[in-house]
């Protein structure tokens, strides 16, 4: 399934990956890959309920790929969506050696056969005609994701979110983050929040973010990939709709295009 606003399309491909395209054929992917979502093994591991089906996805039509942090960096996923003209925008702290030490064998983004741009929080750039803002993303050390010693899964500086403009519509993928003060002034038309029960903002935090930003449309991603990310998406949709904001769920997988 693809969610459309006229010629503007959003497709959730699984886990944290969304494909966004516009009438001018510009295509942006956020955080492609991991957990078998793009190599057709996800269904075998986790099952298809309320999540896009895993598939052997090799569209290779990306103009821009955005990578937020170590947990979402998957070199195979980047290859599956990229071509020789793709630019890969990677947060400065993404560290392939650290990812490999954690048990996933990946190569450095700079070893991929594409143009790679490293970016820092607060940076703005234009890539392949796409305006990109690098937005802070982190868990509050005094918030619900913090342990007793104040440690969190995503400390400040570990990752980022991205605001990017396709076909005149500003999209905001907050990354793995709580709803933090730096998000309150992000100008966005399409919000792609995580609503997972663990590691990131919950569906309640995502609904509060939607109410604050008042986007044209909300399409949640990054949930139901595995048990720790289970979320009540229907309750989220009702909550957001009751706040007067359009919301669409894209859970049944790509439409085959």
What sections of the chain are H helices per DSSP?
A: 42-46, 75-81, 96-101, 203-213, 233-242
* Residue 160 contacts residue 136 (beta carbons within 8 Å): yes
pLDDT (average), residues 36-63: 91
Q: pTM, whole model, 2 decimals?
A: 0.96
Confidence at residue 48, expressed as pLDDT on a 0 to 100 scale: 67
Q: By C-alpha distance, which of 214, 240, 93 is closest to 157? A: 93
pLDDT per position as a tens digit, 182-219: 999 999 999 999 999 899 999 999 999 999 999 999 99
Secondary structure (3-state) at 64: strand
CATH number belonging to domain 3-242: 3.60.15.10
Confidence at residue 257, expressed as pLDDT on a 0 to 100 scale: 38
Confidence at residue 97, expressed as pLDDT on a 0 to 100 scale: 96
Strand ranges (DSSP E) for 85-158?
87-91, 115-119, 124-127, 130-137
Residues in the chain: 257
| Both structure tokens of 109 | 């983004």
pLDDT of 161 > 80? The answer is yes
Handedness of CA 58, 59, 65, 67 (dihedral sign): negative
């Amino acid at each position: 399934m693809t969610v459309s606003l006229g010629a503007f399309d959003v497709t959730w491909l699984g886990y944290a990956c969304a494909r966004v395209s516009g009438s001018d054929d510009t295509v942006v992917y956020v955080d492609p890959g991991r957990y078998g979502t793009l190599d057709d093994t996800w269904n075998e591991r986790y099952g298809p309920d309320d999540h896009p089906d895993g598939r052997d996805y090799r569209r290779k039509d990306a103009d821009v790929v955005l990578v937020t942090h170590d947990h979402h960096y998957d070199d195979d996923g980047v290859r599956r969506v990229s071509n020789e003209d793709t630019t890969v925008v990677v947060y400065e702290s993404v560290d392939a050696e650290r990812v490999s030490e954690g048990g996933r064998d990946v190569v450095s983004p700079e070893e991929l056969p594409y143009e790679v741009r490293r970016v820092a929080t607060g940076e703005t750039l234009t890539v392949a005609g796409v305006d990109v803002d690098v937005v802070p993303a982190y868990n509050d050390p005094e918030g619900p994701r913090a342990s007793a010693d104040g440690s969190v899964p995503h400390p400040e500086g570990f990752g980022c979110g991205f605001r990017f403009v396709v076909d005149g519509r500003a999209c905001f993928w907050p990354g793995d983050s709580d709803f933090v003060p730096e998000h309150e002034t992000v100008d966005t038309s399409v919000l792609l929040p995580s609503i997972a029960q663990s590691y990131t903002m919950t569906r309640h935090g995502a609904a509060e973010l939607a109410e604050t930003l008042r986007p044209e449309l909300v399409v949640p991603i990054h949930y139901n990939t595995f048990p720790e990310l289970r979320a009540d998406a229907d309750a989220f949709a009702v909550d957001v709709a009751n706040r007067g904001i359009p919301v669409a769920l894209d859970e049944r997988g790509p439409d085959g295009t």
